[in-house]
Structure 1
Amino acid sequence: MEWIAFTCLAAFSQAWRNALQSRLSQHASVASVTLARFLLATPLAALYLLGLYHWQAAPALTFNPTLLGYIGGASVMQIIATGLMVVLFKRNNYAVGVGLAKSEALLAAMLGMVFFGSHLSALGWLGVLLGGIAVLLLSGVTLRQFQLSTALLGLACGGAFALTSLWVREASIATQLPFPHSAAWVLLLVLSCQTLLLAGYLSYAEADSWRLLWRHRRLTSAISTTSCIGSIGWFSAMSLQHVAYVKTLGQIEVFFTLAISLWWLKTPVARRDTLGLGLIALAAVLVMTG
């Protein structure tokens, strides 16, 4: 199924993007690191859309208030989510920061059911729940080590990402275009909106950030490129399948994250992570078959 391939591509790319953002966050502000995600991704998304129209003819996009509302909401919410993720990077080690934000799949399932009429199968719900348990195990938070502020940040980050994903799916439907052109249009519009918002803010409040991003231009370019590839995967998968399923399968990103943490960031991985990884694998199988 296409959505599985797109989700795997997105998870792999996002693991690298998060690792690169984690490294840049050691030198730059939250807003700067967030902008690095979108800066070069916008022209890359435009090239991707042009390539799709060259490959396969499709109608032009017709704008409507519903589409613009979802685009605006998703754009702002993803900026907030990314900023919260960077704050988590600064508070804990890399793997824990990512783990705490992975409540996204469970929150997307609940919000999708309440507000968007999403219906998951029994196996699908079981997979989502197991994925949520796996996230808690992988976050490494024990009762003795529990920090309420960090937990709330993780939930807020996951909730913001969940809303972003749900609004992206609704925006794709609102385009009334065939796949994959619908997903590509939403991607370009969201990235364009985010780039303009953050660029305007940095120019006003943190003008020195532009010089910093230029100084780290190779890292910034790598973040933007991996972000664009990941977003193509996420937006495409969510145009084809329920967000909760996509995000639960997308938790295989943790496998890539832990590998990167060991190999590139030199972050040790606890032995208890084995159970969490096993649950994620089982959750992925359940949502693919559910």
Structure 2
Amino acid sequence: MLWVGFTVLAAFMQSWRNAFQSKLSKDVSALGVTLARFLWASPIALCYLIGLYLWQPAALPNFNAKFLAFIVSASLMQILATALMVKLFQYQNYAVGAGLAKSEALVAAILGVFFFGTQLSLLGWVGVMIGGVAVFMLSSVNGFKGLSVNIVAIGLASGTAFALTSLWVREASLNLDLPFPHRAAWVLLLVISLQTVLLLAYLTFKDKASVVALWQRPKLTLLTSIASCLGSIGWFSAMSLQAVPYVKTLGQVEIFFTMLISLLWLGEKVKVKDILGLVLIAVAAIMVMWQ
């Protein structure tokens, strides 16, 4: 059950990362906010990896072509997923935007079973489906009759991109012949480093104003990177131990933290239907833990 602890850590830190990104999105472009997620995360990931080797010495990994393909694919897909989620923040309030992106659990279950050899129990499937219904509720603007097609489309696209990222991260981790925490840490460091280099290079040439905007907001940028890296440590570790659909369904408890932050820090209102969605997410989380 170690994966449960890592998942809760990831959900808690990700809720804060999303809140910081939501704040940044008011003054910085979507790709600029996405860069903030990775900008200072690489040094933290490197320190974490070195700490693991000092705590438990292990061999250095052998990187093959298949592993590197998973790393590159996951890196690019997570950049796309994050940029789409930032767009959601600009269309909706923070809580609903983050909730829509959590459609990744259901998408990961479907893609995992058909293309990645994932096996889910009946109870696990029911839990994932309940979580999907909850996310659908959170995506509506004024109840189910008031659904915005544009927002739902972006939310599903973001969730699908996050799902593919998670599935490829797990495949990359399982491809390394190392102890559990070390292989997850290597994948984390390589993915974050590649994302930082790619986004920083692109924005430097195409949108330098976004890079400057981040430098002008050093505290918020640093907090975003720290929360993102700690959250990724939790996600990558949990996905090295358990199937992605289970991890992502339990990870929907993030929306509990999201709602609290939305109310207490961002001062946004939460509707009754959002609370009902949270209850369904709690039920889904319990079911995947007990499957």
Classify the TM-score, shorter chain: over 0.9
Report if the CA contact (8 A) 1:88-1:150 is conserved: yes
SS across alignment from 1:28 = coil
In the TM superposition, what are the counterparts of 1:1-290 in structure 2 within 5 Å?
Answer: 1-141=1-141, 142-290=143-291
One-letter identity of the residue aligned with 2:120: L
2: distance between equivalents of 1:154 and 1:127?
20
One-letter identity of the residue aligned with 1:172: S
Normalising by structure 2, we get a TM-score of 0.98
Ranges in structure 1 where 5+ consecutive residues have no aligned partner: none
SS across alignment from 2:146 = coil
Report if the CA contact (8 A) 2:20-2:220 is conserved: yes
Over aligned residue pairs, what C-alpha RMSD do you find? 0.9
Report if the CA contact (8 A) 1:103-1:132 is conserved: yes
One-letter identity of the residue aligned with 1:121: S
Structure 1 range deviating more: 134-143 or 151-160: 134-143
Report if the CA contact (8 A) 1:95-1:139 is conserved: no
2: distance between equivalents of 1:273 and 1:203?
39
2: distance between equivalents of 1:59 and 1:259?
43
2: distance between equivalents of 1:275 and 1:31?
33
* Structure 1 residue 143: Cα displacement: 4.2
SS across alignment from 2:283 = helix
Cα deviation per residue 1:1-21 (whole Å; 9 max; x = unaligned)?
110000000000000000000
Cα deviation per residue 1:97-133 (whole Å; 9 max; x = unaligned)?
1121111000000000001110100110010001111
Ranges in structure 2 where 5+ consecutive residues have no aligned partner: none
Structure 1 range deviating more: 18-27 or 135-144: 135-144
2: distance between equivalents of 1:150 and 1:274?
20
Cα deviation per residue 1:252-287 (whole Å; 9 max; x = unaligned)?
000000000000110101122232111111111110
* Structure 1 residue 145: Cα displacement: 2.0
Normalising by structure 1, we get a TM-score of 0.98
Cα deviation per residue 1:55-81 (whole Å; 9 max; x = unaligned)?
001110111001000000000000000
* Structure 1 residue 209: Cα displacement: 2.2
